[in-house]
Amino acid sequence: MSFLVWNCRGLAQPRTVRFLKEIIKQLRPNLVFLSETFANKKKIESICKAVFFNGCFVVESQRHGGGLTLLWKNEGGVEIKGSSNHYIDFEVCCDQVGRWRYTGFYGCPERQRRRESWQILRDPAAESQLPWCLIGDFNDMMHEHEKQGGRRQPRGLLEGFKETVFDSGLDDLGFIGSEFTWEKSRGTAT
């Protein structure tokens, strides 16, 4: 079972949709979690068909921001357990790994609202006995070296997020791909 997790920053532009199609073609994931889609359900459903996925669950964007999407292929059963503007909680059953719980997460981007994100992470931690994998964009970090440029991350936010991860029984598994989702002109000299 393979995942693609992408903070797409909007699916309104054709080049963004083309990029999504290309990366799905290259990586061939079974599940795709998208955050900050800025799109409605109709738009997402058309993208789902275009990338040949059978299942689609959408949390529509509010006003001019947000939006979450989970796309899946028919392989393995996906059962949605809950959702909000910040997460899609689901269970997956497949031959290779059995039944697992996953949560696609998008944390509050505003610093003053980080405690809301932390509480959202803590609430579902005890709800299931299944192995749990939490994926997405937390808009938070546990170490200062995870940030480049701009203001330093306040120590209280670093410690608060570390404490939340620990309290929830989570471990950081790392990632593959671009370290920073906001990179401008990635792959060029600028």
Residue 100 belongs to domain with CATH number: 3.60.10.10
Q: Does any domain span residue 190?
A: no
What does pTM read for this prediction? 0.85
Q: Does any domain span residue 178?
A: no
Instruction: Provide the domain limits for residue 60.
Output: 3-167
Q: Does any domain span residue 184?
A: no
Residues across the chain: 190
The predicted structure's pLDDT at residue 56: 93
Q: Does any domain span residue 189?
A: no
What domain count does the chain have?
1
Q: Does any domain span residue 64?
A: yes
Instruction: Give percent of the chain with pLDDT exceeding 70.
Output: 88
The predicted structure's pLDDT at residue 170: 83
The predicted structure's pLDDT at residue 189: 41
The predicted structure's pLDDT at residue 188: 40
